[in-house]
Amino acid sequence: HMLMKKPLPADSLHQHHAVVDPKQLIGEALHQRVEAIDHEVCEPGDEDTFYVADLGEVYRQHLRWKKNLPRVKPFYAVKCNPDPQVLRLLAGLGTGFDCASKTEIEQVLAMGASPERIIYAQPCKTNSYVRFVKSVGVKQMTFDNADELYKIAKLFPEAELFLRIMTDDTSSLCRLSMKFGAAMDTTEALLVLAKNLGLNVVGVSFHVGSGASDPMAFYKAVRDAHTVFQQGRELQFAMRTLDVGGGFCGDTFEQMAGAIDGALDEFFPAGCNVDIIAEPGRYFVSAAFTIACNIIARRTVEDPTLDGKGYMVYVNDGVYGNFSSIMFDHQHPVGKILRRAGQTLYDTPAANPCCSGEGVEYSVWGPTCDGIDRISESTRFHSILDVGDWLYFEDMGAYTKCSATQFNGFSNAHDVIYVCSEPGAQALLGL
Ligand code: PLP
């Protein structure tokens, strides 16, 4: 037996000073880790699923944001991926943070971010958390109903309130407006109540739904927000900030940014004395994280409709783990081959799935005993995969690790190996 090489230390920041191809950097980190494992003798857990995070990608998204939405200050939605190095980088880049709970607020404050850089963007808050945010000086928070206003009047009347309005979220991946947001025919009454309770409304927020695909949704929401700004000003509120929420995706960002920019020019033109903020989550992290999973078991399926033979492969992560995004975030992650029988294939044509009708068919299953724990119903590869081989999945940074459970006793504390493909980010991170 070969001795197992020591796996790379978890959560360590790898130093890369040269400007390198991000794919190459990620590939090296994946390979180093996987090649250090001797599957014949390794300890339980040594072959666990792990991530490679390229902080340079987060940095590039920041530059892209500044280029396309220079007037809008992002408050990163921590819920999407509270990775400590991502938060540290964004804090260094000067973003704000959208937090939904006491834990998220504590995590951001512990990094040295000032309370003014936080918005507690949860319209239905826990009483004790409201007392907590008051004690630490986090004043900005959202509301969308009368009961919440009574709560805030009792617990934190000095809070700086954003009225969250309902949006048309029919085009988005994860709809939110059935749960949150004040309908436009209720906003005036809510503002009057806030006034009567002596509260301090400072702005309007909305969220067009996570993974939005219709730029018009942003346009209409900005237009509605403008109506509510006017209502607030008539009631002598000092309306100063518009929060355009999250929902931005990497693929369609420029298009969405264009719609927002146009709407801002029309309803909140430069010089109108309104600050614009946003709460992007997936935009910053989705493409920055790649996950690698080990094939732990295989079942051969004899099926004449499958040209003879197909396989069910079982990997050591699934919908109860980091692939929770399949259930909660409507994702369809597609695996590629990282290593096959000692051969590393990352980022080669042979790593990619092939078209229907070609190659061998696989269904990819998670490690728990539940039948719904399936990552993919059908993926075809030109290769024969077996136990001990590795698959990798890209774009796994959003709504994955944060919503993984420990169902069936599987760990949800997976290692993250950090790389950084941007010198600017390296400098900020002190590398
Ligand atoms: N802000 C709020 C209030 C949210 O509920 C969410 C996601 O659910 C976000 C921001 C982040 O959304 P996204 O990741 O689509 O940008």
Domain ranges of the chain: 22-55+286-424, 56-283
SS3 content of the chain, % helix, strand, coil (to 5): 35, 25, 40
Half-sphere exposure of 227 (CA within 13 A, CB side): 14
CA angle 42, 289, 106 (to 5 degrees): 100
The DSSP secondary-structure symbol of 64 reads H
Most ligand 1 atoms within 8 A of CB, residue of 163, 207, 328 to mutate: 207
| 369 labelled catalytic | yes
Looking at domain 56-283, its CATH class is alpha beta
Complex ipTM > 0.90: yes
What is the pLDDT, as a whole number, of residue 305?
64
Q: Are strands 140-143 and 336-340 parallel, antiparallel or unpaired?
A: unpaired
Q: How far apart are CA 222 and CA 232, in angstroms?
A: 15
Q: What is the CATH number of domain 22-55+286-424?
A: 2.40.37.10
The amino acid at residue 229 is F
Residues 247, 41: contact at Cβ < 8 Å?
A: no
Strands 336-340 and 343-344: antiparallel
CA diameter of the chain: 79
Predicted local confidence at residue 356, as pLDDT? 84
> Dihedral of the CA atoms 113, 118, 122, 127 (nearest 10)?
70
Are 24 and 420 within 8 A, CB to CB? Answer: no
Task: Read off φ and ψ for residue 301, nearest 5 degrees.
Answer: -115, 115
Cβ of residue 279 lying under 6 Å from some atom of ligand 1: yes
Q: Give the closest residue to 194 by CA, choosing from 244, 158, 169, 241.
A: 158
Q: Does the beta carbon of 209 sit less than 6 angstroms from any atom of ligand 1?
A: no
What Å distances lie between residue 350 and 69, 312, 356, 381, 383, CA to CA?
A: 39, 20, 15, 8, 8
Of 116, 117, 126, which is closest to residue 151 (Cα–Cα)?
126
Nearest residue to 203 (alpha-carbon basis) of 149, 245, 240: 240
Question: What pLDDT, on a 0 to 100 scale, did the predictor assign at position 306?
Answer: 56
Count of positions (residues) in the chain:
431
CB of 205 within 8 A of CB of 224? Answer: no
Q: Give the position, in ligand 1's atom list, of the atom nearest the Cα of 209.
A: 15
Which of 249, 369, 402, 420 is the catalytic position?
369
Residue 75 token pair: 């408050």
Quote the pLDDT of residue 331: 92
- The pLDDT of residue 325 is 94
Nearest residue (CA) to ligand 1, atom 8: 210
Helical pair 102-110 and 84-93, crossing angle rounded to 10 deg: 60
Helices and strands counted in the chain (H then E)? 12, 17
pTM beyond 0.80: yes
**CB of 57 shorter than 6 A to ligand 1:** no
Cα–Cα distance, 291 to 122 (Å, whole number): 30
Give yes or no for residue 169 CB within 6 A of ligand 1. no
pLDDT recorded at residue 34: 95
268 close to 224: Cβ distance less than 8 angstroms: no
Could you tell me if the CB of 280 is within 6 A of ligand 1? yes
β partners of residue 243 = 205, 277
Residue the block writes with tokens 């990497």 = 250
Digit-by-digit pLDDT tens for the chain (431 residues) are 233 333 334 444 444 444 679 999 999 999 999 999 998 899 999 999 999 999 999 999 999 999 999 999 999 999 999 999 999 999 999 999 999 999 999 999 999 999 999 999 999 999 999 999 999 999 999 999 999 999 999 999 999 999 999 998 888 888 888 899 999 999 999 999 999 999 999 999 999 988 778 889 999 999 999 999 999 999 999 999 999 999 999 999 999 999 999 999 999 999 999 999 999 999 999 999 999 999 999 999 987 665 678 999 999 999 999 999 999 999 999 999 999 998 999 999 999 999 888 899 999 999 999 999 999 999 999 999 999 999 999 999 999 999 999 999 999 999 999 999 999 898 888 87
pLDDT for the residue numbered 7: 37
Distance from C-alpha of 397 to C-alpha of 360, rounded to nearest angstrom: 29
How many CA atoms are closer than 13 Å to the CA of 142, on its beta-carbon side? 29
pLDDT at residue 304 in the model: 66
